[in-house]
């Protein structure tokens, strides 16, 4: 009787124990979304951050350590974006398969051409990244490049399902490439426009669409905008010279709204990552970015 | 690939077509188009190759730089010997303290301090300067060194605070560390002084752990394969430091056990709770006045529980955040105290200590904090009347507030005020502190 009850309980618990083939721990939501695009139901992806969080400043929370402990693959932007927390997670998680140098550790920025690499640097210049700008996800061509490497890693980690991951990649690229073409056609009027951005988060988008970055709200990267710097910008752009002021969902809106009011240039929020209410997936993210930039130009 | 088959075939085919005196204009046009398509295709492939070359070059250059940082590059990527230099960081700290009472006379009745516990020196001066080096040793071990440069009695001394090697290749969620390290007991014990929220440690750490317990030994940790964070650990230590004072002939003088659990409540809130236990042997362990210390021989047991809660709107830590933390310790010491050259008295006493603190960051760069800490003890008996071990009339307690400003995550300036009702007379204590970090800086734990 007791035996039967236990058996019944165990059978009832089975679906809870059954796991996906690959547990993916992504530092940023775009890599979790990409892993799901490629791996579909074979992948269980978890993102350590949300698009409402500044990925430079994340607490090495116990929940994240537990996730890394159980991960088969850790995917992060790299280029020191996560230097303040990822090493602590890896050190505490006791998971030898996802340490740097292993198949289970993927730094996305290694597979794209990084912009703004300075080699060595002086911290007086602020929170800049000697390995280049880590916000690579704002150019869809970078997403495609990382997708190829991600697929390779998934195949290596789960060889039984290699074909499924390859088909997943093909299926994704078959949808992604026409989407890129569509965005590029839509974005033609954006070439040559001038942007003021809160932080240097958008250099890959600007490079892709031919937008010129004329100023940043932060006088020194990583340090909040100062009153002196904002009044300088007011003087500099009083007579024009900028088309929009861009910030990310996690950045304080005060500085960009303040400047927008004074220089009469629209201040807009663009999804820097996937998972905001208006950008639930990678495709929607770029739809929203292009749409909002065109809207600000008055070319909707 | 399939795309260029057609024009390629066209060109090849055209070689076998007999020359026609007057070529059809449409044919010329189609040939021209085919050649242009070929050219465009090759341009595309060359630019693809150039891009791949540029990425490879970029990553090779990055490898040199990465090796100097906390997260070493992939092994075998660069052949430059300098690429294997460890990450080096230096923490520069200084303080200025003002006391209304003479800090030289400071002691806490009932709790003779041992180890490095005590007030920070009066006046302006350097605090501990830390030199930190770390790197992967190879694919299975990583190494860490923290050397503290301090000034004691006017002389510069170097102390090895941490020198450990950790095995990174153990299976099934196990981790092992050996060498000298901060014990994993409690919440604050393993935190470096530069990451403390107040300039000094709370009273239970001062009274029970000599400020912070570190020792030579071996640590084993295991992480459960669950979504709820569950860490179990234990240590075997030489016992060379307060609260232990082991006989050097005996290999192991202290054992610890600890368990930590934690998780997220929502995107805004996370928590960490833990319990720990320390069992230390003491043989002629000095504490209290440096010139006339009291010597304890016996067993020192310490049990502690802790809870930490961190909150930030939407988890966006940079803009606004709040931390509340509390720890409670109970110590039981059973043995004898040598009170003078001839008199030895039995000592079997339970003592409690706890603190609660909160730090709030309302806007980027500015933080405000408050802390209350308190100790209490049983009376060890009439033999101890008139000594520092006798129970005080009132429980020792303090109340502190602090404010700090961090221009970046590498710098911090702090002002702290403490109302001290733990010392021989109530005191108002003011302190200024700076903490600067240069070079590589490792990630901070939760």
Sequence-separated (6 or more) residues with CB below 8 Å from residue B166: A91, B141, B142, B143, B144, B175, B176, B177
Query: Which helix (H) or strand (E) segment is B210 a member of?
Result: none
* CATH code of domain A187-296: 3.40.50.1980
The answer to whether B328 and B202 are in contact (CB under 8 A) is no
Say yes or no to pLDDT of A120 above 90: no
Say yes or no to pLDDT of A169 above 80: yes
Residue A287 binned pLDDT confidence (cut-offs 50, 70, 90): very high
* Nearest Cα residue to B273 out of B446, B138, B95, B88: B446
Residue B72 binned pLDDT confidence (cut-offs 50, 70, 90): very low
Summarize pLDDT for B108-121 with one digit per residue, the tens.
999 999 888 888 88
Residue of B nearest to A103 (CA): B74
Set of chain A residues whose Cβ sits within 8 Å of the Cβ of B55: 110-113
CA distance B133 to chain A (A): 15
Say yes or no to pLDDT of A138 above 70: yes
Tell me the C-alpha distance between B125 and A45, whole Å.
51
CA distance B225 to chain A (A): 6
Residue B51 binned pLDDT confidence (cut-offs 50, 70, 90): confident
Summarize pLDDT for A28-41 with one digit per residue, the tens.
999 999 999 999 99
Q: Cβ separation of B408 and A87 shorter than 8 Å?
A: no
CB proximity under 8 Å: A 155-214 to B: none
* A97 touching chain B per CB within 8 A: no
- Averaged pLDDT, A197-222: 91
Q: Cβ separation of B75 and A101 shorter than 8 Å?
A: yes
Query: Which helix (H) or strand (E) segment is A54 a member of?
Result: none
CA distance A104 to chain B (A): 13
> A97-125 b/e with 16+ CB inside 10 Å = b?
ebbbebebbbbbbbbbbbebbeeeeebee
Sequence-separated (6 or more) residues with CB below 8 Å from residue B435: B91, B92, B93, B194, B411, B412, B414
CA triple B144-B217-A67, angle to 5 deg: 60
* pLDDT at residue A51, as a whole number: 92
Facing residues of B182 across strands?
B214
CB proximity under 8 Å: B 96-135 to A: none
Q: Which fold has domain A2-182?
A: Rossmann fold (3.40.50)
* CB-nearest partner of A96 from B58, B168, B319: B168
SS3 B60: helix
* CB-nearest partner of B445 from A58, A60, A222: A60
CB proximity under 8 Å: A 46-75 to B: 49-50, 52-54, 56-63, 65-67, 69-70
Its pTM surpasses 0.90: no
- DSSP H stretches of helix in A41-196: 62-69, 86-93, 140-157, 162-186
* A83 touching chain B per CB within 8 A: yes
* pLDDT at residue B154, as a whole number: 78
Share of chain B above pLDDT 70, in %: 89
- Averaged pLDDT, B285-314: 92
Facing residues of B434 across strands?
B94, B413
Set of chain A residues whose Cβ sits within 8 Å of the Cβ of B221: 94
* Nearest Cα residue to B237 out of B294, B173, B164: B164
Summarize pLDDT for B369-427 with one digit per residue, the tens.
999 999 999 999 898 888 889 999 899 999 999 999 998 888 999 999 999 999 888 99
Looking at domain B91-439, its CATH class is mainly beta
Tell me the C-alpha distance between A287 and A80, whole Å.
28
Set of chain A residues whose Cβ sits within 8 Å of the Cβ of B75: 101
CA triple B168-B192-B117, angle to 5 deg: 130
Give the position of tokens 């940079």. Answer: B318
Which range, of A113-117, A135-139, B366-370, averages the lowest pLDDT?
Answer: A113-117
Q: Cβ separation of B59 and A120 shorter than 8 Å?
A: no
For chain A, the average pLDDT equals 88
* pLDDT at residue B250, as a whole number: 66
Which range, of A167-181, B170-184, B280-294, B388-402, averages the lowest pLDDT?
Answer: B280-294
CA distance A298 to chain B (A): 32
- Averaged pLDDT, B128-146: 89
* pLDDT at residue A126, as a whole number: 66
Size of interface A-B (CB pairs under 8 A): 157
Residue of A nearest to B227 (CA): A66
CB proximity under 8 Å: B 71-100 to A: 71-75
C-beta neighbour count of B418 within 10 angstroms: 24
Same fold? A2-182, A187-296: yes
B408: which DSSP letter?
S
For chain A, give every domain's residue range: 2-182, 187-296
- Averaged pLDDT, B75-90: 60
CA distance A157 to chain B (A): 17
Distance of CA B396 to CAs B107, B187, B211, B422, Å?
10, 22, 16, 4
CA distance B382 to chain A (A): 48
Set of chain B residues whose Cβ sits within 8 Å of the Cβ of A120: 65
């Amino acid at each position: 009787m007791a035996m039967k009850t236990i058996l019944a309980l165990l059978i009832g618990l089975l679906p809870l124990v059954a796991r996906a083939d690959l547990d993916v721990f992504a530092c940023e939501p775009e890599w979790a979304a990409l892993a799901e695009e490629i791996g579909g139901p074979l992948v269980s992806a978890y993102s350590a951050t949300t698009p409402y969080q500044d990925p430079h400043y994340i607490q090495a929370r116990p929940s994240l350590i537990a996730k890394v402990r159980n991960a088969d693959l850790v995917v992060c932007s790299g280029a020191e974006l996560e230097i303040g927390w990822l090493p602590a997670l890896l050190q505490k998680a006791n998971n030898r398969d996802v340490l740097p140098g292993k198949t289970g550790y993927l730094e996305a920025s290694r597979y794209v051409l990084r912009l703004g690499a300075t080699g060595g640097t002086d911290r007086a210049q602020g929170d800049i990244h000697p390995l280049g700008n880590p916000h690579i996800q704002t150019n869809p061509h970078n997403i495609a490049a990382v997708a190829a490497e991600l697929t390779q890693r998934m195949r290596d980690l789960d060889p039984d399902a290699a074909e499924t991951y390859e088909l997943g990649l093909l299926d994704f690229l078959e949808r992604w490439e026409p989407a890129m073409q569509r965005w590029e056609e839509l974005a033609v009027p954006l070439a040559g426009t001038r942007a003021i951005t809160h932080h240097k988060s958008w250099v890959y988008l600007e490079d892709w669409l031919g937008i010129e970055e004329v100023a940043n709200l932060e006088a020194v990267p990583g340090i909040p905008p100062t009153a002196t710097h904002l009044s300088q910008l007011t003087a500099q752009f009083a007579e024009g010279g900028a088309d929009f002021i861009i910030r990310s969902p996690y950045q304080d809106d005060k500085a960009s709204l303040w400047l927008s009011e004074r220089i009469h240039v629209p201040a807009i929020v663009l999804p820097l990552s996937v998972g905001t209410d208006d950008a639930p997936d990678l495709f929607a993210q770029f739809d929203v970015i292009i749409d909002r930039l065109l809207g600000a130009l008055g070319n909707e | 690939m399939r795309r260029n088959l057609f024009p390629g075939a066209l060109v090849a085919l055209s070689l076998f077509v007999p020359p026609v005196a007057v070529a059809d204009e449409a044919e010329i046009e189609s040939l021209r188009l085919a050649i242009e398509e070929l050219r465009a295709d090759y341009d595309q492939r060359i630019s693809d190759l150039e891009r791949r070359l540029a990425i490879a070059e970029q990553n090779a250059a990055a490898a040199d730089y990465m090796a100097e940082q906390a997260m070493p590059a992939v092994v075998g990527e660069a052949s430059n010997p300098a690429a294997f230099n460890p990450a080096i960081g230096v923490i520069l700290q200084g303080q200025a303290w003002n006391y209304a009472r003479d800090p030289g006379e400071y002691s806490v009745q009932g709790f003779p301090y041992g180890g490095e516990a005590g007030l920070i020196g009066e006046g302006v001066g350097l605090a501990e300067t830390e030199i930190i080096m770390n790197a992967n040793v190879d694919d299975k071990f990583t190494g860490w060194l923290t050397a503290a440069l301090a000034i004691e009695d006017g002389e510069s001394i170097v102390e090895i605070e941490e020198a450990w090697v950790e095995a990174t290749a153990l299976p099934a969620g196990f981790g092992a560390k050996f060498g000298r390290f901060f014990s994993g007991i409690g919440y604050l014990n393993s935190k470096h002084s530069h990451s403390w929220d107040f300039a000094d440690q709370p009273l239970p750490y001062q009274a029970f752990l000599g400020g912070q317990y570190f020792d030579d030994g071996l640590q084993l940790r295991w992480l459960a394969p669950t979504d709820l964070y569950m860490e179990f650990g234990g240590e075997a230590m030489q016992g060379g430091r307060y609260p232990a004072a082991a006989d050097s002939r005996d290999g192991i003088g202290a054992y610890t056990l600890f368990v930590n659990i934690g998780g997220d409540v929502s995107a805004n809130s996370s928590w960490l709770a833990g319990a720990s236990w320390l069992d230390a042997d003491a043989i002629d362990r000095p504490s209290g006045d440096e010139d006339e210390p009291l010597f304890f021989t016996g067993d020192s047991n310490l049990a502690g529980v802790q809870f930490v809660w961190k909150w930030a709107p939407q988890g966006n830590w940079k803009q606004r955040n709040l931390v509340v933390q509390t720890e409670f310790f109970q110590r039981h010491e059973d043995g004898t105290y040598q009170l003078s050259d001839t008199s030895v008295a039995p000592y079997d006493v339970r003592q409690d200590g706890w603190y609660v603190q909160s730090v709030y960051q309302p806007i980027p760069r500015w933080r405000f904090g408050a802390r209350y800490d308190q100790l209490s003890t049983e009376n060890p008996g009439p033999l101890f009347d008139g000594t520092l071990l006798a129970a005080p009339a009132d429980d020792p307690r303090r109340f502190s507030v602090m404010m700090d400003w961090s221009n970046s995550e590498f710098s911090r300036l702090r002002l702290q005020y403490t109302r001290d009702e733990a010392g021989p007379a109530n005191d108002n204590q003011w302190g200024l502190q700076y903490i600067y970090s240069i070079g590589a800086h490792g990630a901070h734990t939760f």
